[in-house]
Amino acid sequence: TGFLEHPNIVPVHQLGRGDDGEPVMVMKRVEGVSWSELTLGAEHPHWDVLGVQDRLRFHLEVFTQVCHALHFAHSRGVVHRDIKPENVMIGHFGEVYVLDWGLALRLDKRAEAPLNIVGTPAFMAPEMLDGPASVTERTDVYLAAATLHEVLTATPRHVGDTLETVLGSVLTSAPVRYSDDVPEELAALCNAGTSHDPGRRPESALALRLAVEEFLEHRGSILLADEA
């Protein structure tokens, strides 16, 4: 985390040991709510604090900030491996922080990483089931697209009554048929981003961000035309 100095990543101020000898990490104090609280809570009081009028635009602008953080981390050879709305904090003034880099992996250290499977099954990319050797930057692209899916639908990308069912969904990563209230461009982007084949996903977090920004430009033109 200390290696990733970026406006959308909480900085580390100091490392040390507590009175009990255990390691202590002092980070910047940030106050706000997790993105998941806003995604799933239409009546959450933080909406009033933020003064948001256009919630879809707000969510998409938060998403672009998440992509900024990921693109920066990837430029440093680091992948997060646990992107989800719960791990994004929204401050009182709209600040966006990508939290919980505890599962982050340096790509040049993949061979030394434990072979256990890590991550959150509801958002997990299929190659994560093979262990760290198969993880790339496009794994985070999948996780980001799965996060966008939850933002748009208020449901996780992978659901099921049992862990086996959820992991089966992870393994197949079949395209989702979205309802009409999800904009077609964003639905296509989510399906592309969560493709089973990493080669079919947007090539980077930057590409994912630019696609969302392009949609926002189109949407603004369409709204302007409708008002006219």
- pLDDT confidence tier of residue 184, bands split at 50, 70 and 90: very high
pLDDT tens digits for range 4-15: 989 999 999 999
pLDDT score of 3: 84
Q: Among this protein's residues, is 82 annotated catalytic?
A: yes
Q: Which residue has the higher pLDDT, 42 or 38?
A: 38
Whether the predicted pLDDT of 220 surpasses 80: no
Mean pLDDT of 212-216: 94
The secondary structure of 166-203 as a DSSP string is HHHHHHH-PPP---TTS-HHHHHHHHHHT-SSGGGS-S
Q: Which region among 16-20, 49-53, 173-177, 208-212 has the lowest average model confidence (pLDDT)?
A: 49-53
pLDDT by residue (tens digit) across 150-160? 999 999 999 99
Average pLDDT over the chain reads: 92
pLDDT for 151 equals 94
Give the residue, 19 or 218, on which the prediction is more confident. 19
For residue 222, pLDDT over 80 is answered with: no
pTM to 2 decimals? 0.91
Host H or E run for residue 62: helix 55-75
Q: Which member of 82, 108, 181, 197 is catalytic?
A: 82
pLDDT for position 203: 96
Measured between alpha carbons, how far is 45 from 43 in angstroms, rounded to an integer? Answer: 6
